[in-house]
């Protein structure tokens, strides 16, 4: 299986609205590993690894986010999986 890695920077109203927990639930449901982290500039950083199809579903879901979030933009950087994440965590 060809594992991929994706790094996402999510902009918009994404802090204080349950966005990281939404990321966690979605990623775990898709069998992905990685992390979701609030950054000081108001964005959320998501690193995820797994199958490309599952990662593309994650990106699609994160464009919508939870009910009170408002996503304006997502920067996407693809790479080969490193295997550094053993589970999905909220930082």
Is 25 labeled as catalytic in the residue annotation?
no
Of the CA atoms within 13 Å of residue 15, those in its CB half-sphere come to: 12
Is 2 labeled as catalytic in the residue annotation?
no
Which of these is catalytic: 11, 20, 25, 52? 20
3-13 sheet: strands from edge to edge: 70-80, 3-13, 44-51, 33-38, 88-90
The residues carrying an active-site annotation are: 20, 38
């Amino acid at each position: 299986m060809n594992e991929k890695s994706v790094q996402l920077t999510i902009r918009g109203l994404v802090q204080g609205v349950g966005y990281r927990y939404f990321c966690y639930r979605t990623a775990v449901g898709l069998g992905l590993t990685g992390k979701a982290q609030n950054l000081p500039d108001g964005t959320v950083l998501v690193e995820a690894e797994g199958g490309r199809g599952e990662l593309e579903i994650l990106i699609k879901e994160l464009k919508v986010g939870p009910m009170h979030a408002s996503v304006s933009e997502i920067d996407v950087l693809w790479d080969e999986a490193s295997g550094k994440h053993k589970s999905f965590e909220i930082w």
